[in-house]
Structure 1
Amino acid sequence: MEIKTFLFRYAGALTAGDLDGIAACYGYPSLILGDESAQAVAEASDVKNAFAGAAERYRAQGLTEIRPTIGETTRITERLVDVKVRWEYLDAEGVTRAEGYYRYTLRGDDGDTGGDTGIGTDTGTGDNLAIHVVVPIPAAEFGA
């Protein structure tokens, strides 16, 4: 699966408040890592609990869409890729009202693709990408 397609699928689940869809974008175990904490994410229920009510909070602030912009992408191994993402939180008129910056480590699962993980920014045939590490980053690291 193409990274862009994966991130837009994740954004759609976030915007809709689709907890099953959000949880399906994670691989288990995962790790949320920041300057002040490290949180292990052992199973889908952990992700669902973390995101419960998030879409409603976004809508209460007048935010109606979440859009990713892909920054630097680095292949770590055949199945691992590191990607910087800027998330834009948009209102009903499409105006960016907030931003967030993250680095994700994604792992491709070759499944039934004959060994082709299909991790790419432009092309790919693999079916599965999953978030395994999330790190908030400063806007300057993204290049913003």
Structure 2
Amino acid sequence: MDTIDAQITEYLTRYAETLTAFDARAAAQLWATPGMILDDRYAGVLDSREAMVEGLEQSYPLYRKLGLASVGYELLNQEQLSGAITMVRVRWLFYDADGNQLTDSNAHYILRQGDDGLQACVCVQTDDLEKLQAWRPSAVSTCRTRPDQRDHSAEASGPPRPRGLYRLGRRQAIVGWAGSSLSTTTCARDRGRIWSTYRRSPGMYFVR
């Protein structure tokens, strides 16, 4: 096996292990800074590992609730772009405690070889939101408010909500899914408030 092939295999194996262990700090070490996440609806740059750790950790409670117990992968394609840069296409596989596949997702990564070994610089996610919506939609509940609380969502000012999964939970609002990650924020009846929180916290959209 060529050296770069072995390094990519080792890198992806380590990445899957960090996701299985819900080890945000170990996963963040596999990223260069800044790191960029890109999909059809979102583009964001994470300029510190602390932001990456925060985003990953916020996704873990919901993953546990959905029954995620282990993560595997398939390397679908790789292309050497330069002496130090490789682009890979990966299919992540998500399993429950009995080894049953819950769902999968596909992503492209640009990896760069540096002093700390291979690290991801860019992740392009292609089908995360669709796969999540098909996975366990019943796990997302409807926001509950007291009878005396008025719902101002129809009157909210500001930009419209992002497309995709956007249901409110009892105390939290799911505002995004990014590959291995969902992100949550305090339940807000005003969609303008949720939007502003979403826009201020790009790290919350980060997953892998």
Q: Tell me the TM-score normalized by structure 1.
A: 0.79
Flag the structure with larger Rg. Answer: 2
More helix by share: 2
List alignment gaps of at least 5 residues for structure 2.
Answer: 1-5, 129-208
Question: Which deviations, in whole Å up to 9, do the C-alpha atoms of 1:56-85 show, x marking residues without a partner?
Answer: 322221220011110110000000000000
For residues 71-106 of structure 1, give each alpha carbon's deviation from its aligned partner in whole angstroms, at most 9, with x where no partner exists.
Answer: 110000000000000001001121111111100000
Indicate conservation of the 8 Å contact 2:106/2:126, yes or no: yes
Tell me which amino acid in the other structure corresponds to 2:59: A
Report the counterpart of residue 142 of structure 1 in structure 2: none
Q: What whole-Å deviation, never above 9, does each CA across 1:27-68 have from its counterpart, x for those lacking one?
A: 011111112221001010111111014333222212200111
Equivalences, count: 123
Cα distance between partner residues in 2 of 1:90 and 1:41: 28
Show structure 1 runs of 4+ deviating over 6 A. none
The structure with higher relative contact order (CA 8 Å, sep 6+) is 1
User: Among 115, 123, 129, which residue is 1:134 paired with?
Assistant: 123
Q: 1: distance between equivalents of 2:98 and 2:22?
A: 20
- In structure 1, stretches of 5+ residues that fail to align are 112-126, 140-144
Looking at secondary structure, tell me which structure has more strand per residue. 1
Normalized against structure 2, the TM-score is what?
A: 0.56
Q: Secondary structure at the match of 2:70?
A: strand
Aligned identity (percent) is: 27
Aligned pair 1:107/2:112, yes or no? yes
Q: Corresponding residue for 2:35?
A: 30
Q: What is the root-mean-square deviation in Å for CA atoms of aligned residues?
A: 1.6
Change (3 A) 1:61 1:86: same
